[in-house]
Structure formats: C-alpha cells, structure tokens
Structure 1
C-alpha cells in the first residue's frame, strides 16, 4: 500500500510540474469599461472576468469562450511590487488587435485582482483550463 501511495504522489507532482511547463509567459495590459461590444459575443454580456486575445491566440475566433488561468509574475516598468497574490480565471471574449505575441488584454476588473492598476503592464503566465 505504501508503494502505491508514493507512486500516486509522484504522478500528482509530475502533473503539477507539467502544467507549469505548459503555461505561456508574456505580458498583460488592461482595458476599461464598457466591455461591450466584443469580437466573440457582440453585445451579449459575458461578465467582468474577461480578456482579449492577441491575434495568434485568437486564431480567427477559435479561442472564443475558452478559459485561461492568469498569474502575475512581476512588473515591466519599475512599479515596485505590482503583483497581488493568487491567480484568476478569465474567459476570452475579444480580439486585441494591438497586442503583441504572448500578450493578453485583461478587463480592468480582472487585472486589478492580480496586479496594481498603476503598473499598467505586468509580466504574467497563462494557461488554458
């Protein structure tokens, strides 16, 4: 029985490490209200925990409705300690035409839960859930 528990623990730790490896690192900015219309849902409200995808991630709308966990890793512009603890889950509802590769555009409500708004831009990692 002890061997089986150790094997299950090792498997669980491996899965956790795999999710860290699969997460993309990039940057995040935010956009302010109103959050409508959106490229994916037009004027149908999708709440406040939402995001716009960069053109590559957006993939002609294939990413619409998918959820991503996002975590702040640090600042980009010298703002001391811009990150807040924890992670958020957002739904992709829009295309961010001005976003660069690996950039995700969070709603202001979502951004403010993981980072200080005054930072404006932070380093993040994100992964589809």
Structure 2
C-alpha cells in the first residue's frame, strides 16, 4: 500500500477508508485516502464575538502563535469536544474567514462562535464587537498524516490519546482488543480519548473515523508519554 509514512519510531501502519455510503478507495500517492465522502456536519448561524486567542484552549491543543485563525465554538455545538480540530468557514458582514476550532465558549448561544481577534477583523471591523454570521464545515488546510498525541501522565494503566492534524472533525476512535475486535474509546470534554482501564504498554492498533465517514487504520502506534506519533495517511479533501 502506497503512501505509508515511516515515523522515527518505526511506526508500521496500514491505512484504509470506508465512506459513509459504503464506498472505499486505495491510498493515494500523497498519503491520503478517499475519495468517498459522507455528508458534512450541519451548518450554523448566530453571532460572532472575538477574544485574544493563543491557539490553546479546552481542546487541549498547544499554542499556535503562527496560526491564530482559530475560534471557540458555543458549548451546545461543542458537545463533548465534537468540533475540536475541525474547521469552519465563517461569513460575516464584510468578509469570509476559515478558522480551526480550539476552544469552547460557555457563554455563547447555540450557533455563536467566539473568533480570535485576527479572524474577526477579516469579517468585520473590531469596533462592531458582535456581528451576525453563518458558518459551515470545511476541510482544514493540513499537510502530512494525522498524528496521535499521548497526554502527560499516560501509562499502560491510564491511556489518553488525542488525534491531531486532521482535515475534518473526529467522530470516533477505536482500539483493537485481545480478541481482535474494535472497541470504541470514550471521549472526554478536553478532547482526549480515555479508555476506562488503559490500553496496556502498546504498541496500539487504532481505528479513526471522521465525521465524513472516512476511516484510518494504524496498527502499531507506539506508546510514549507526551509523544506525538504520525499515522499512516491523511484524509483527502471532499468535493
């Protein structure tokens, strides 16, 4: 299978994709998979405000000083970190901007988005403070494969894994149990997948499903506290 990424830790992985409508496709030369795509998440409408963003927030991503086109999603649409790492295109009174969701906004009504200052000024003068918007899911502009981030304090008894560098929001993460069956890992509010009893010392066989129905399968992701390990492939941009 082409497009396999050999990580510095010798990750051995296989990537596959299954579309929401039952289609599938081989990996492409650039490490992507597809082209089958399911329906996007529902669009939204509400009001935008702004804040002094760093790129960090409730989604537990690291600060991104070179990429501050980010936003906090209202707590209703945020759910249990459902939008973390996904991107939306926001249309305001004077422009359009694409932002990555990195935080939640507890004081925002459903449909509202709290934009970084840098993003807000691309759709409205800052002096407006609060403006009407519409927004929809779009692909994030990423390169390279998805990545698996292990949380601090992770051990064979307490495993916490986050998916990073993905094009569309992540719907589900599964691990393969001792009997070879895929078992869903619960997601927590701060955007890690945390099984009740840990996953053991690794390496881990993991199954990632995004909100468009694509599936990535990585069969040997190594364990390492605070380590970021590359997966085998990246999801393509849906038409």
Question: What TM-score do you get using the length of structure 2 for normalisation?
Answer: 0.38
Q: Structure 1 segments of 4 or more deviating over 6 A?
A: none
Aligned to 1:78: none
Which of 84, 93, 96 aligns to 2:105? It is 96
Q: Which moved more, 1:97-106 or 1:118-127?
A: 97-106
Q: What is the Cα deviation at residue 53 of structure 1?
A: 0.5
CA-based RMSD: 1.9
Aligned to 1:23: 43
Give per-residue Cα distances to partners, 1:61-107, cap 9 Å, x unaligned. 121011000001xxxxxxxxxx32x3110000001111111110000
Q: What is the Cα deviation at residue 50 of structure 1?
A: 0.3
Gaps of 5+ in 2: 1-39, 139-239
**Residue 108 (str. 1) matches residue 117 (str. 2):** yes
Alignment of 1:69-84 (within 5 A): 69-72=89-92, 83-84=93-94
Gaps of 5+ in 1: 1-18, 73-82
Higher percent of residues as helix: 1
Q: Which has the higher contact order (CA 8 A, sep 6+)?
A: 1
**Residue 50 (str. 1) matches residue 50 (str. 2):** no
CA gap of 1:36–1:127, structure 2 versus 1, over 3 A, is closer
Question: What TM-score do you get using the length of structure 1 for normalisation?
Answer: 0.68
Aligned length: 97
Greater Rg over alpha carbons, structure: 2
